[in-house]
Amino acid sequence: SMNPDLASERQTASFSVEKLTALLDGGTEQMRIRRAVVEAIESDPVFSRENQYFQTQNERYEAAVRKAVHLQKKMHEMGWTENGPEYKYIYRALSGDVAFLLHRVFMRSISVLGSDKQIAKWIPLATQHKLIGSYAQTELGHGTYLQGLETTAVFDTATQEFILNTPKISAMKWWPGDMGRSATHTVVFAQLYVHGKCYGIHPFIVQIRSLQDHSLCPGITAGDIGPKMNFEHIDNGYLLLKNVRIPRENMLSKFCEVRPDGTYVRQGSQKINYFTMTTVRISLISDEVLTPLMKACTIAIRYSVVRRQSKLKPGEQEAKILDYQTQQEKLLPQLAAAYAFHFINDYLQELFNRGYREIQRKNFDMLPELHALSSGFKAVITQHCTAGVEICLRACGGHGYSLLSGLPSLYTKILASCIYEGENTILLLQTARFLIKCFMAASAGQPVPPSVTYLAAVKHGKCPAKNKLDFLSPDIYTEAYQHVAVRLTSSTAAKLQDLIESGVKKHDAWNQCTVQLVQAAKAHCHYIAVKNFAETVEKLETKAGIQKIMKHLCDLFALHGIFSNTGAFLHDGYTSAAQMDMVTASYLDLLAVIRKDAVPLVDAFDFTDKSLNSALGSYDGQVYQRLYEWAQKSPTNQMSPAYERYLKPLLHNTLSKL
């Protein structure tokens, strides 16, 4: 039976939930396929995540391997293929709780970096799981700065082998997934030496465990790096190499080759490889970042309409906590952000598809822009969504803190996205470097890529808004965002210039501007996200109330950004204090408007109870019953030796006296 407090929220939806779900899925056919995959996965008990919150790291790992192996069988049964339309929904349906993800990276790296001969040899083996691959790049002492990797691969002309070594402890490979316990092979990145000369970092296929009995190969020390904040199901590993010899053919040689005599040869353009790296940053946004935020919003918003606490009006029933303005102010901007980033993700995907087509035609012009966008948006979206999930968790009070709410795991997992695939601050500085370069070019009248042409058009006007309703005009707020992005970029460019002109060395000057450069990069991405949301809304069909509610969310996303960062807009007087008060008024009004549709808006994300795996977020809203039933199954309700060992002797001291 559905909790009546939740049921009543659904009766008043201003739009068709089913239509909005289809819009998010990219069409009704996509929606149908996704639901079929979810149904097939969730009805299979092997994929159950029900006991997940009670399991140890060892149990999680074992379950993830079991699922990965079972998935092969399942795909065969269902007729799903890696190139089929179902594939992209599988990982989402599993909530990522499966092993051998790095096996896929192993395969991708061979496909991209290997010669045709290498691809022909290794890809079929990997596809059929005749080996388990990993990807060993990061070292204890090196993550971001790849050139600093210390593992060595020395070519021995006599035996036609590379000899791989970990020269010191900081050179030990550290973090690679699937490597701690599962992998038999890995791609090792190492400094290549031939005849005593270093040629920089290159990739080598190295076998690390026996295919016979899984024992470590000679010269290999490897294991699991131990407990982490999340990712208990993944065996992130370490690897130490001592005079490990591999044949010359194991250096991935699409772009660089060492000939038998030791001659080093470069061939072809690596730019396509570079492009692959940038697309990975975009591809993770949907599954690893947006889905967790959407789940967190679903859980927190459903809970906030069944949780009643304190009274809004004296003498009345206790109020739903979502009726408090402060609760709306916590949750609804996260909901708006989830939609905003869903649409910017569509935009980026489309842009990258276009880029890919251009690159295949040997046109690399789009690369710098794509790199800047993928870096900036990876950083901005992971940061924003991580903070959003944390807000959802805290907004659920004590029950949010229980693992059974599902929120702690969502948070501890999404947090990692701020660190992997490029640490966020480093990435924002990549974007900033592009912005500064383009700003200088634009100022000098040179052409710049489409996403930054606005930098050329520096205007010194004022925001034209006259009353609070004007701030519901996308032109008004988009222009304000644009103005801030231009101001931050131009003022930082000026500071940089001034420092250099005053005699500060270029790299020192850059370092002294980095805090402000990060601000500029964020402002650029925020502007593009707002603009894209507004343009998307413009194009939506007006039927079924979809456009109207999306317009509200777009307004909220934009005004929340201004309200949370008023200084950026007030600084040079573009927005006046009186206008800022209008922003605040419109923003607070919007909260009350969107609150009415809050539950339908999260229902549209279409998560099943199994995929939420949350006692607070279920579709029927029976929160307290579910918490109680679930808690009773916890291993902490088994007998503990603590009683016999410690409590009994303590209490028995003087039992008779009570």
Binding residues for FAD: 138, 177
Report if residue 132 touches a copy of itself, rule: CB under 8 A.
yes
Q: At what angle do helices 474-501 and 506-539 cross, to 10 degrees?
A: 170
548 burial level (CB within 10 Å; 0-12, 13-18, 19+):
middle
In 242-397, the DSSP E strands lie at 244-247, 256-258, 264-266
**Which residue among 388, 408, 617, 621 contacts a copy of itself (CB under 8 A)?**
408
DSSP 3-state assignment of 82?
coil
Of 2 and 403, the one with the shorter C-beta distance to a copy of itself is 403
Please give the Cα distance from 617 to 600 (Å, whole number).
13
Q: Which residue has 């029927």 as its token pair? A: 620
Please give the Cα distance from 93 to 40 (Å, whole number).
9
Given 161, 421, 535, 629, the catalytic residue: 421
Read off the DSSP letter of residue 286.
Answer: I
**Which residue among 263, 325, 446, 467 contacts a copy of itself (CB under 8 A)?**
325
197 closest CA partner among 134, 152, 233, 250: 152
Choose one: 30-38, 420-428, 474-482, 520-528; the region binding a copy of itself (CB under 8 A): 420-428
Of 542 and 632, the one with the shorter C-beta distance to a copy of itself is 632
Q: Sketch the per residue contact string, 428 through 457, with a copy of itself: x for CB under 8 A, - otherwise.
A: -x----------------------------
State the minimum distance, in angstroms, from the CB of residue 264 to a copy of itself. Answer: 24
**Number of residues assigned to the chain:** 658
8 A C-beta contact, residue 27 and residue 345: no
The DSSP annotation for 162-211 comes to EEEE--SGGGSEE--TTTTTT-SEEEEEEEEEETTEEEEEEEEEEE-B-T
State the minimum distance, in angstroms, from the CB of residue 542 to a copy of itself. Answer: 31
How many other C-beta atoms can be found within 10 angstroms of the C-beta atom of residue 95?
24
User: Segment 201-220, which members bind a copy of itself (CB under 8 A)?
Assistant: 211-212, 214
Read off the DSSP letter of residue 285.
Answer: I
Q: Can you list the alpha helix ranges (DSSP code H) found in 564-640?
A: 566-570, 577-595, 598-603, 609-612, 623-632
Beta bridge partners of 340: none
Q: Sketch the per residue contact string, 138 through 157, with a copy of itself: x for CB under 8 A, - otherwise.
A: x-xxxxxx--x---------
DSSP 3-state assignment of 574?
coil
State the minimum distance, in angstroms, from the CB of residue 517 to a copy of itself. Answer: 9
User: Segment 501-520, which members bind a copy of itself (CB under 8 A)?
Assistant: 505, 507-508, 511-516, 518
Please give the Cα distance from 23 to 574 (Å, whole number).
36
Report if residue 117 touches a copy of itself, rule: CB under 8 A.
no
Choose one: 243-251, 462-470, 475-483, 636-644; the region binding a copy of itself (CB under 8 A): 636-644
**Which residue among 14, 184, 273, 349 contacts a copy of itself (CB under 8 A)?**
184
Of 148 and 449, the one with the shorter C-beta distance to a copy of itself is 148
State the minimum distance, in angstroms, from the CB of residue 636 to a copy of itself. Answer: 4
Count of CA atoms in the C-beta half-sphere (13 A) of 456: 13
**Which residue among 5, 346, 423, 535 contacts a copy of itself (CB under 8 A)?**
423
State the minimum distance, in angstroms, from the CB of residue 557 to a copy of itself. Answer: 17
Collect all residues with Cβ–Cβ distance below 8 Å to 143 and sequence separation of at least 6.
423
User: Segment 542-581, which members bind a copy of itself (CB under 8 A)?
Assistant: 565-573, 577, 580
Report if residue 635 touches a copy of itself, rule: CB under 8 A.
yes
**Which residue among 25, 329, 535, 620 contacts a copy of itself (CB under 8 A)?**
329
8 A C-beta contact, residue 500 and residue 476: no
**Which residue among 35, 74, 308, 596 contacts a copy of itself (CB under 8 A)?**
308
User: Segment 575-604, which members bind a copy of itself (CB under 8 A)?
Assistant: 577, 580, 584, 588
User: Segment 18-77, which members bind a copy of itself (CB under 8 A)?
Assistant: 53-54, 56-58, 61-62, 65-66, 68-69
Q: Which residue has 């092979």 as its token pair? A: 185
Of 119 and 131, the one with the shorter C-beta distance to a copy of itself is 131
Of 11 and 653, the one with the shorter C-beta distance to a copy of itself is 653
Whole-angstrom Cα Rg for the chain: 28
Choose one: 12-20, 456-464, 540-548, 649-657; the region binding a copy of itself (CB under 8 A): 649-657
108 closest CA partner among 141, 140, 82, 81: 82
Of 224 and 470, the one with the shorter C-beta distance to a copy of itself is 224
Residue positions in the annotated binding site?
Answer: 138, 177
**Which residue among 5, 224, 257, 535 contacts a copy of itself (CB under 8 A)?**
224
Report if residue 324 touches a copy of itself, rule: CB under 8 A.
yes
DSSP 3-state assignment of 596?
coil
**Which residue among 235, 288, 555, 606 contacts a copy of itself (CB under 8 A)?**
235
State the minimum distance, in angstroms, from the CB of residue 357 to a copy of itself. Answer: 34
Of 63 and 537, the one with the shorter C-beta distance to a copy of itself is 63
How many other C-beta atoms can be found within 10 angstroms of the C-beta atom of residue 75?
16
Start-to-end Cα distance in the chain: 47
Of 314 and 450, the one with the shorter C-beta distance to a copy of itself is 314
Report if residue 412 touches a copy of itself, rule: CB under 8 A.
yes
Choose one: 81-89, 227-235, 354-362, 440-448; the region binding a copy of itself (CB under 8 A): 227-235
Report if residue 310 touches a copy of itself, rule: CB under 8 A.
yes
Q: What residue type is 14 in one-letter code? A: S
**Which residue among 278, 345, 375, 402 contacts a copy of itself (CB under 8 A)?**
402
Of 115 and 383, the one with the shorter C-beta distance to a copy of itself is 383
8 A C-beta contact, residue 133 and residue 207: no
β-pair type (256-258, 135-136) = unpaired
Beta bridge partners of 536: none
How many other C-beta atoms can be found within 10 angstroms of the C-beta atom of residue 308?
14
345 closest CA partner among 420, 269, 288: 288
State the minimum distance, in angstroms, from the CB of residue 556 to a copy of itself. Answer: 13
User: Segment 476-505, which members bind a copy of itself (CB under 8 A)?
Assistant: 505
Q: Is 421 a catalytic residue?
A: yes
State the minimum distance, in angstroms, from the CB of residue 44 to a copy of itself. Answer: 16
Report if residue 353 touches a copy of itself, rule: CB under 8 A.
no
User: Segment 243-272, which members bind a copy of itself (CB under 8 A)?
Assistant: none
Report if residue 225 touches a copy of itself, rule: CB under 8 A.
yes
Please give the Cα distance from 138 to 140 (Å, whole number).
7
Choose one: 24-32, 170-178, 198-206, 458-466; the region binding a copy of itself (CB under 8 A): 170-178
Of 456 and 588, the one with the shorter C-beta distance to a copy of itself is 588
Collect all residues with Cβ–Cβ distance below 8 Å to 643 and sequence separation of at least 6.
none
Collect all residues with Cβ–Cβ distance below 8 Å to 403 and sequence separation of at least 6.
53, 409
User: Segment 380-399, which members bind a copy of itself (CB under 8 A)?
Assistant: 390, 393-394, 397-398
Active site residues: 421
